[in-house]
Amino acid sequence: MTPQEASKRAREICRLAPIVPVLVVKEAAHARPLAEALVAGGLPALEVTLRTPAALEAISEMAKVKGGVVGAGTLVSPQDVKNAKAAGATFGVSPGATEALLEACEAEGLPLLAGAATASEAMRLLERGYDVLKFFPAEASGGAPALKAIGAPLPQISFCPTGGVSPKNAQEYLDLPNVLCAGGSWVAPSDLVASGDWAGIEALAQDASKLKA
């Protein structure tokens, strides 16, 4: 997969909904009902972070949910890429980008939303052919004003800001012309997941799906 093909697919995924849930799944048994609740609430693109022992199994379970598009987040090594692809992930998300990681995603045919926090990082990825990126960590890197400023000289790059995005500031990001969607964890809070309150999570997803990109 070329960087251009990866970016085209990433753009399609980012346009599915205004918010991409960023999920930390601690128990594989929660994966499928969690995905079903989020998809029913209007958020089909799901990012499962590789931060728990259950993450890969969670991806496999979520991949079975009709209407869902499941990706793996926190990809930092070529082995992460192989594991994610084998588990059923259809896209990847990384906090940054390295040559080895980019090469692995291209070789495995896994569309990557590579992270960038500065103009130089974004320009290096654009030079390679990536024009859809993750802006991370969004709030710590200056928030919506910083992303707006980066967009002025680099209008050809689109972003999915993640990191500190919340119901209070999500619309501020989504109002920017260089933002396709935003990543957020608030739609699947740990207490609701632990208690199995799937109706509560679906309601949060419905609210998030009404935001306008």
Which string of b and e fits 81-116 if b means at least 16 CB within 10 Å?
bebbbebebbbbbbbebeeebbebbbebebbbbbbb
Of 68, 70, 69, 44, whose CA–CA distance to 59 is shortest?
Answer: 70
Catalytic residue among 36, 47, 61, 202: 47
Residue 172 falls in the annotated catalytic set: no
Token pair listed for 154? 């680099």
Place of tokens 């995603």: 105
Residue 47 falls in the annotated catalytic set: yes
Catalytic residue among 36, 106, 134, 202: 134
Active-site annotation, residues: 47, 134
